[in-house]
Amino acid sequence: MNRFGPRPRGRPFAPASLVAALLPAWAPLSLAGQLSAPARVDPDTVPRPTLEARRATLPIVLDGNLDDAAWSLADSTRGVFRQSIPDQGMPSAERTVVRVLYDESHLYIGAALYDSHPELLVSAGMEQDFATQDSDIFGFALDTWLDRQNAFLFAVNPAGALFDAQSFNDQQSVNRAWEGEVEVSTSVRDWGWVAEIAVPLTTLRFRESEGAQSWGINFSRRIRRISEDSSWAPLSRQFRIYKMSRAGTLTGLEGLRQGRNLAVKPFISAVRTGGERAANPGETLEGGLDLKWGVTPQLTLDLTALTDFSQVEADEEQINLTRFSLFFPEKRDFFLENEGIFAFQDNRVRNFRTGSGPQNFRLFHSRRIGLAPDRTPVPIAGGARLTGRVGGYALGLLNMQTQDDRGRFGENFSVARLRKNILGGSDAGFMLVNRQATGGGDSFNRALGADLNLRLAGGRMLVNSYLAATDEPDLSGNALGGALEVAWRDPLWNASALVKHVGDGFNPGVGFVRRRGIRRGFATIGAHPQPSIPHVREFNPYLDLDLFANLDWVMESRLIRPGLAISFLNSSTLSFEYEASYERLEEPTAIAGTMVPIGEYDFGALTASWQSDLGRKLGGRISITRGGFFDGERTSVSGSVTVRPSAHFFLEGTGQRNRLVLGGNGFDANLVAGRFRYARDTRTFLSAFVQYNETTEEILTNVRFNLIHAPLSDVFLVYSERRSADPAPGGPAVAEQAVTLKVTRLVAF
């Protein structure tokens, strides 16, 4: 299946003798060839493989066949892919052969993925950025600068869907919102499946050179029916394909050019809004554009004018059972691309149990631009962003201007981020963030910070630290924030320790801080043994200790959390966790909408959770929590059911029921949601999301039709509504309602 149809190139005549000559390269091999490989290798010591990319001198047509004569002249991956999961270092259960070609405009990847049971292949959707963990996939990561740190990441499933992303800092962060122009064609055969991929050179960033250059590269495969992950350059089970310090090398690339690398993406948007609480009811017709220019092979300039984000899916409602602010993630593509460069935050690193993450602290959180505190849009006049590399530095500059709206003055937002790679795989940097009122008023907020992130012992040890300060009119209190974290992860052990200070006056106005005026200490230790127990892949016992004190060193919160997680060979999981909590309230505090009086509270709760194999047509999750809750008790049940009869359909129902007793009063806080997706093919999609929040007695609905009519060019038709589930007499049944039609078209020069 080709996402955008084959490129208009003629297919050369392939006589029978030529087809016969090609067959040995791609036809299934006997098990003898597979079994001749060494039984097991050590991923940490085995040499990294190399593959030669050869220039295509004959035409290539993307049709999922790999029978073009050009492929017979390509170098191929030698040896076998090695498992990282479940049996680290062992040969993959099935053979995979990959070849790489290139010409003046594209890099071509061809993969033959042999499978003894092709009828059991799983494709978890046809939409872009599908759920790769629930699908058979073929993936590859390209380190085009050969810095062994950063990469472009691509994956496809047998239905032809594409996942693309950027990874940064040797697997430490992944930006899944990045999108590149890529062509994909797949086909399923009686011996397995084929993936044929063409990546335009303009999609990538690399050094232009007359002579030969090399890139870092790795290939991966997931066989969903047996829950196996394998890779060409072997990896330990705690790493993924974008662990570029463990990747192989692609050689032989010569005379690469990116061309002008200029793209303009205009849009037109028609919106009709209504409802009793609509900010601007009526009809509007707007237009604007985004521009992307590769200023140099290392620097990209993005410009946006009259920015519109109406096609973005609405936020999911959350029930807050804490006394602190909720974190809502950024969903707007303009801010998400190259987001990793701007990361200055508590780290949440895959496979490391860090105890924190961006949901606790970000010095810069782009969601604060163009969205009011109540999550309603604020119009953006325009903005610019320059990201990339200058010498050995990663650079990020951003400036955005919002318009006056509903009594609010417009604001200017400026961000400068600079990071320097040091000691091979580590980095140090600083960030400056400024928020300034324009058009009236003199309010401002500024934040300045420096961070140091060390990756040692081949990526098994992390040392992350930062120090930041903020400034604003009438500043009072301690305006400093800082943290130091040391974490270790190898195939067996997982441990970390964190110390953190957040002043009571520390207020990054374009960031997010969950809890101020505290000193925090966190420590954890866990293990990941793989016992010889039928159907069990891994046990993970762990113990967390989390302490919060105020700035006078008086304890405010304590959490002792032992737990056990069990991973099964079919990718299902079972976990048990007990939380022994202590909370000290110095003033009456609203918890879940109920005032809890001053006092000290000791309570505990047990949680049991189960997740089935979500690669099956019917799957689900369930979690049950029962125990104390401040001066009362809590019973929570949450879960979901997913139905995926084919790659075209997906249906999910989720629910959360919370029965709480606080201050002697019992009440419920419940949430129910449903999600539906239909994909006619990899370009035409219909999705719907409906959610009911019993606490606010509101029903949120979002229905979206999306047609990708050309690469990175869309038609969106979106209906959104916020409705009262039980309106008071004379009150509004429909609080907000909007219908939006938006058309975009990417024009490349």
Q: Are residues 723 and 586 in the same domain?
A: no
Over range 545-559, report the average pLDDT: 94
pLDDT category of residue 12 using cuts at 50, 70 and 90? very low
pLDDT category of residue 20 using cuts at 50, 70 and 90? very low
Query: Which residues, 6+ apart, have CB-to-CB distance to 678 below 8 Å?
Result: 648, 649, 650, 685, 686, 687
Over residues 672-714, the pLDDT tens digits come to 999 999 999 999 999 999 999 887 788 999 999 999 998 889 9
Q: Are residues 605 and 734 in the same domain?
A: no
How high is the pLDDT of residue 442? Answer: 77
Tally of domains in the chain: 3
Q: CA 639, 644, 649 angle in degrees (round to 5)?
A: 120
Residue 324 covered by a domain:
no
Q: Cβ–Cβ contacts within 10 Å for residue 308, how many?
A: 21
How high is the pLDDT of residue 190? Answer: 94
Residue of 617, 615, 540 lying closest to 570 (CA atoms): 615
Over residues 273-292, the pLDDT tens digits come to 888 777 678 888 888 888 88
Instruction: Pick the last residue of a domain from 672, 707, 722.
Output: 672
Most confidently modeled range among 185-199, 262-276, 355-369, 588-602: 185-199
Q: What is the DSSP string of 166-211?
A: EEETTTTEEETT-----EEEEEEETTEEEEEEEEEGGGS-----SS
Query: Which residues, 6+ apart, have CB-to-CB distance to 246 below 8 Å?
Result: 43, 48, 218, 233, 234, 235, 239, 459
Distances (CA, A) of 134 to 84, 198, 324, 644, 647: 17, 24, 33, 11, 11
Q: Are residues 686 and 667 in the same domain?
A: no
Average pLDDT, the chain: 86
Q: Are 101 and 54 in contact (CB under 8 A)?
A: yes
Instruction: Pick the last residue of a domain from 639, 672, 705.
Output: 672
Q: Are residues 712 and 654 in the same domain?
A: no
User: Strand pairing of 589-591 and 461-471?
Assistant: unpaired
Residue 131 covered by a domain:
yes
Q: pLDDT at residue 333 above 70?
A: no
Residue 327 covered by a domain:
no
Q: Are residues 620 and 741 in the same domain?
A: no
Distances (CA, A) of 386 to 416, 435, 709: 10, 18, 28
Pick 260 or 63 by higher pLDDT: 63
Q: Which residues of 332-360 are buried (b: 16+ CB within 10 A; e: fewer)?
A: bebbbbbbbbbbbbbbbbeebbbbbebeb
Residue 445 covered by a domain:
no
Residue 333 covered by a domain:
no
Place of tokens 């270790």: 488
Residue of 588, 428, 433 lying closest to 509 (CA atoms): 433
Residue 721 covered by a domain:
yes
Q: Are residues 193 and 50 in the same domain?
A: yes
Q: Are residues 140 and 271 in the same domain?
A: no
Q: Are residues 173 and 134 in the same domain?
A: yes
Range of the domain at 616: 562-672
Q: Are residues 586 and 690 in the same domain?
A: no
Q: Are residues 97 and 192 in the same domain?
A: yes
Q: Are 240 and 149 in contact (CB under 8 A)?
A: no
Residue 259 covered by a domain:
no
Query: Which residues, 6+ apart, have CB-to-CB distance to 567 below 8 Å?
Result: 536, 537, 538, 539, 540, 573
Torsion on CA atoms 512, 515, 519, 525, rounded to nearest 10? -80
Q: Are residues 61 and 172 in the same domain?
A: yes
**Structure tokens that stand for 661 in this block:** 């007793």
Residue 144 sits in a domain whose CATH number is 2.60.40.1190
Residue 404 covered by a domain:
no
Instruction: Pick the last residue of a domain from 649, 672, 695.
Output: 672
Over range 61-68, report the average pLDDT: 90
* Lowest mean pLDDT, pick from 356-360, 470-474, 525-529, 604-608: 356-360
The Cα–Cα gap between 481 and 509 comes to 14
Provide the CA 121 distance to its chain's centre, in angstroms. Answer: 24
Over residues 431-460, the pLDDT tens digits come to 999 999 887 767 899 999 999 999 888 778
Q: Are residues 619 and 743 in the same domain?
A: no
